[in-house]
């Protein structure tokens, strides 16, 4: 099974935040699950760090490189098809990062791991 992590799910897992659901934690830890991360997530984190809305215990590049490798996560590159899908999405959600992540999940026909119920309005297969 392949899952694409929404940004909050990624951070909550990596930082062992209790806000992450047990279902989500089990899916990510399952060795048979292919865990994917969008570049939109680390871009979103970088922006939040730069405007003072978020802090990590170390530099972003160090943190992400180590944690993605240690947690057997792969990057799902952003393709032109993904961007095209964003262009066709209705505006249920104004967050550009979430719109790209949901477009990737839809275009790749993979599960989206997210607590954000608005994602359901796009028809994404969301688990939490």
Let me know: does 77 contact 104? Beta carbons within 8 Å: no
Instruction: Give the pLDDT score at 94.
Output: 87
- Rounded CA separation 12/3 (Å): 15
Mean pLDDT over residues 8-13, rounded? 97
Measured CA to CA, the distance from residue 63 to residue 58 in angstroms comes to 6
Longest dimension (CA), the chain: 38
Contact 101, 112 (CB under 8 A): yes
Q: What is the pLDDT of residues 50-105, one digit of tens each?
A: 999 999 989 999 999 999 999 999 999 999 999 999 999 999 988 999 999 999 99
Q: What is the percent of the chain with per-residue pLDDT over 90, rounded to a whole number?
A: 97
Q: What's the confidence (pLDDT) of residue 66?
A: 95
Smallest CA-to-CA distance from 89 within 123, 117, 126, 41 is with 123
Which among 23, 96, 2 is positioned nearest to 12, based on CA atoms?
Answer: 23
Candidates 117, 12, 4; CA nearest to 54 is: 12
Q: Per residue in 27-36, pLDDT tens?
A: 999 999 999 9
In angstroms, rounded to a whole number, what is the distance separating the alpha carbons of residues 96 and 59? Answer: 24
């Amino acid at each position: 099974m392949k899952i694409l992590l929404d940004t909050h799910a990624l951070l909550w897992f990596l930082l062992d935040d209790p806000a992450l659901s047990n279902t989500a934690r089990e899916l990510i830890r399952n060795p048979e699950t292919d865990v994917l991360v969008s570049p939109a997530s680390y871009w979103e984190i970088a922006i939040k760090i730069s405007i003072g809305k978020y802090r990590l215990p170390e530099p972003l590049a160090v943190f992400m490189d180590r944690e993605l490798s240690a947690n057997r996560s792969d990057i799902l590159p952003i393709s032109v098809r993904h961007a095209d899908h964003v262009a066709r999405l209705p505006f249920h959600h104004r967050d550009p990062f979430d719109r790209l992540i949901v477009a990737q999940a839809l275009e790749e026909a993979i599960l989206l791991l997210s607590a954000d119920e608005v994602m359901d309005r796009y028809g994404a297969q969301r688990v939490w």
